[in-house]
Structure 1
Amino acid sequence: MQRKVTKAVFPVAGLGTRFLPATKSIPKEILNLVDRPLIQYAIDEAREAGIREFIFVTSRGKSALEDYFDRAPELEQKLKQKNKTELIDALKQTNMDSGAIAYVRQHEALGLGHAVWCARRLIGNEPFAVLLPDDVISSDVGCLAQMVEAYAETGGNMVAAMQVSDANISSYGVLDVKEDKGSVVSVKGMVEKPKVEDAPSNLAVIGRYILSPKVLRNLNKMKKGAGGEIQLTDAIAQEIGESDNVSGFRFRGQRYDCGSKAGFLQATVAFGLERPELRDEFRAFLADTVAHPQAAE
């Protein structure tokens, strides 16, 4: 019987330089996708998967992110006075129970592995999830909930995986597949950001993980990898050699890279078209814009 995964780490210390000047004063994680910030999508996905403790690895200038999850009694009172119950219900989704959320600082940008390592004392000796808010996944069942169900059978360490093109393979950690079992693949190796000719497959790791506490002990070594950073992929790969307990999971859903402007725009269109109250007007606008591109310039 595997221990339940109830803790999740959200590495949100990045500066979001690809979205400057917007991110000069606003953390990238609270940029709006339709009418919810990126971090809200990640939190909702984690809640669906049974996560009860939320650990944010932050940096200077992220106070707006912390405020977002605090209560706003004055705003709630004004909405009650105007009987705007739908908006009150929407606000409740942003509130976190006292003690459910914790913040730790990453004082230097030393890589994703280092960011996760910063949360080690709060994780303790338990399995834990890692969610990267830049990766927004549209699916009927949340990606992490799918992984938790599979993890109950496999245990060990699990990474979400998807096929990517040769043109993009060098931007990802890539799995060397030992055995393909369909949605779950056993892994015999992982390579961080390989050249296309060196990639062992086109199955890439994306921003969802379920990890054993042994990965934190591997990160204690502070070994630098690709890009001179402490890579989470390297710490997970060490578990393959020592325990042979790493799996890849092909999730059901569409992933959007909201860490890039193009990906953010694609997600905006996709999520906007999913909303019944926006769909018809938005679809008509898009069709007209495509048919008459000069009118949009």
Structure 2
Amino acid sequence: MKPRTTSIPSIPLHSPFYATDNAYEGDCLGLSVLLELPEDAVRAVLAPTPFDFVTSHAWVEFYTFPTLTGFSPYNDTFGDQYAVFGVVVPASYGGVHGGYYAHCYKNKDFSASMGREMAGFPVKAAEVHVQKTGRAMTGRVACPTARYEASVIVGDESVADPAFAVRNPTLLLHVIADVEAPDSVLLEQVISRDVSQSSDLTAVEAEPAVNYRPAPSEIDDLSWLEAGRPVHADFFSGRFRGALGRVLATTEVSPRLLDRVAAIKA
């Protein structure tokens, strides 16, 4: 078997989208809003996953990087700076409490590729714009299947997450399809990733406002957030650093993959 000629496990190897697997960092700022939601809406989001229900709440977050190094294989100066919109649902798996990343939208292809390939973030491409002017910070996301807006007025008191609405570490469901069989899984695993431990971010209180807008297509990923009522918010900033994940469990493996592994070991 020929050895790999690159150290980046990107798909495909000859044309990597990203420059690293975890050694990226930058100055980061963002807003987070905790929504109270109907319990059945949250349970419906968790239903197709192995994660257990914790509370009828979800976090929506916008963040951006004024500086970012080590992520893109080129000097990224095109368009808006790298920005993200995410929806994080407090959940648990095997006694580990964290935040299931239910939705993720990014405005750069290199970050979308790494998040999906490596860790199982449900990244989709979208227009994501985040702006801070004085004490006001706004974020908006728009694509065929999602539109959402949030804003905060930044305070000056330090604030901690409500104890019932845990969001770190991030819980992810990483699924690789089987190329040889329709509607089949080659490998499925549950991953925990905790950038709160690798980063130096601080949060202060904020006064929130949110605005769900119907998606322009027949599919609306965020319709379950329409009834969300803001109950907590913060503005966070500081140095963000990437982190590797930790596999909590392998929940499905194709027999064909196991046969191939056995043949390699033989």
1 or 2, which has the higher helix percentage?
1
Please say which structure displays the higher CA radius of gyration.
1
TM-score, normalised via structure 2 length: 0.25
TM-score, normalised via structure 1 length: 0.23
